[in-house]
Structure 1
Amino acid sequence: MQITTKAIIFSSLKYGDTSLIVKAFTESDGLKSYLLKGVLTSKKGKLKAAYFLPLMQLEIIAIHKNKGTLESIREAKVAVPYKSLHTNIAKNSMVLFLAEMLGNSIQEEEQNEGLFNYLEYALYWLDVHAPNPNFHTLFLLNLTKYLGFYPDTSFQNQPYFDLLEGSFYKKPSLNPLIQGDDLDHFKRLLGINFDALPTVRMNKPQRQQLLKNVILYFELHLHGFRKPKSLAVLNAVFE
């Protein structure tokens, strides 16, 4: 079936000498994988390899057979021309990290309008604002709303956050916990939007520990989740 839809690119992997395998989150059908034959050598075609950078927002005309095999894209055009996302070093390091996290976290092959809208908005916000070293952590924390495990804030005044249970508790358990100063930093990001990021103050070790806890939170709640390889690059950029 031919379909026109918006799509956000998660990854592109070289296949042979001339082709790409692209993983994208589509507005119409959720996660899809495409084989783009000859795209690396084609100069006159309607598909250009530069369109398929991580987290590019495209409008595509695709053939979806929905048989569990690689789909195909007939045409693509840039839906949101970025101003700085791939040229600013700090933002680009966030893009590579978040694209890997999204690829490791989102597996649903069905429409999720709320999740797609969130990704659209967050990427636009990052593109038009100065890079903030806490953006990617808040991005991931708010992403859990759409993945089904956002922290339960009912007892937010308690001294322990149980990462496995996703809730605050008065007494510690044997599960991985956030506590002490780390918990204070964690709470600062709960319930805020990106516009409030300039009010959140943390030093580098505090930011890295918070991000480490959030990644562990993903690992505990998503089956088959793989830790991102791009984390080391991200940490180096924000030293």
Structure 2
Amino acid sequence: MNSQNGFLLSFIKYGENDAVLHCFTEEDGFQTYFLKGIYSKRNKKKALLQPLNKLTFSINPVRGNGIQSISKFELVKNCDVDADIRANTVIFFISDFLNQILRLENKNPNIFLSIEKFIEELENKNYQSHLLFLMVILKIQGVAPLMNEGNFLDPETGTFSTTPTHQLFGEEISAIWKNVLCTENLYATKIHSSLRKDFLDSLLVYYHYHISDFKNPTSLEVIQQIFE
């Protein structure tokens, strides 16, 4: 039996009382776990199954070709945003996003620490932190745009050009990309509320070009409505 710390990305009810959990762990990266009896009437720990809660798991050895099972788990830290609708919407969006793009990710301390930093920013009511977190992930994955003298970001090549190449990447949105790429304190970047939707759309377009098989998170429509 071994122990793991990890962020809960998603969970699916399996049968009457069990669940399958997808987590990003500190030691082994993306992992899928089987959790028995979590939905039984006497089990009070089902309340801990919230997106991006940080949990510690005791893992049973794998038998045959099955998935690893959890013998017990405890809460390390929950996302302290329960009464905040906007923050909760952001949490669901980012957990949805990470559940998709980290499926093949092995141990990556930079990503693990970046999730902790993002949650800290959101708890401090930085309501644009999800936008900047998407930029952090691009940097960690090594596919962030390269800086040059152009004023218009070309999302396909990841470089700046002197003329527009995509309708979403006008001068204002491209300038935000440049500003975020150049700043040391990324989360201190201020993005005007009127530009946040277009900036998020531009981020998702960029991900489509540079992350294999990327699909827009299913929670995208909800987060766009909340921040209109």
Using structure 2 for the length normalisation, give the TM-score: 0.89
Q: Identify the residue that residue 73 of structure 1 maps to in structure 2.
A: 70
Is 2:204 the partner of 1:209? no
Q: Deviations over 1:150-196 (max 9, x none)?
A: 2212x0x31221112212123555x7772322212333322443551
Letter in 1 for 2:132: L
| 1:1-239 → structure 2 map (5 Å cutoff) | 2-41=1-40, 43=42, 48-63=45-60, 65=62, 69-84=66-81, 86-127=82-123, 129-132=124-127, 134-153=128-147, 155=148, 157-171=149-163, 178-192=169-183, 193=185, 195-197=187-189, 200-204=190-194, 206-239=195-228
Q: 2:121·2:129 contact (CA, 8 Å) conserved in 1?
A: no
C-alpha spacing 1:64/1:214, structure 2 compared with 1 (3 Å): farther
Q: Distance in 2 between matches of 1:220 and 1:36?
A: 36
Q: Deviations over 1:71-110 (max 9, x none)?
A: 21112111124332x3311100000000111111112352
C-alpha spacing 1:131/1:121, structure 2 compared with 1 (3 Å): closer
Q: 1:161·1:177 contact (CA, 8 Å) conserved in 2?
A: no
Number of equivalent positions:
227
Letter in 1 for 2:140: Y
C-alpha spacing 1:10/1:168, structure 2 compared with 1 (3 Å): same
Post-superposition offset of 1:68: 6.7
> For structure 1, which runs of at least 5 residues remain unmatched after alignment?
none
The alignment yields a C-alpha RMSD, in angstroms, of 2.3
- Range with greater deviation from structure 2 (4-13 or 100-109): 100-109
What SS class does the counterpart of residue 138 from structure 1 fall into?
Answer: helix
Q: Distance in 1 between matches of 2:61 and 2:159?
A: 40
Post-superposition offset of 1:233: 0.9
Post-superposition offset of 1:144: 1.1
C-alpha spacing 1:25/1:190, structure 2 compared with 1 (3 Å): same
Post-superposition offset of 1:30: 0.5
Q: 1:40·1:49 contact (CA, 8 Å) conserved in 2?
A: yes
Post-superposition offset of 1:147: 2.0
C-alpha spacing 1:195/1:186, structure 2 compared with 1 (3 Å): closer
C-alpha spacing 1:89/1:170, structure 2 compared with 1 (3 Å): same
Using structure 1 for the length normalisation, give the TM-score: 0.85
Q: Distance in 1 between matches of 2:61 and 2:142?
A: 27
Q: Distance in 1 between matches of 2:151 and 2:111?
A: 31
Query: Percent identity over the alignment?
Result: 25
C-alpha spacing 1:69/1:177, structure 2 compared with 1 (3 Å): farther
Letter in 2 for 1:232: E
What SS class does the counterpart of residue 186 from structure 1 fall into?
Answer: helix
What SS class does the counterpart of residue 38 from structure 2 fall into?
Answer: coil
Q: Distance in 2 between matches of 1:209 and 1:109?
A: 28
Q: Distance in 2 between matches of 1:81 and 1:54?
A: 9
> For structure 2, which runs of at least 5 residues remain unmatched after alignment?
none
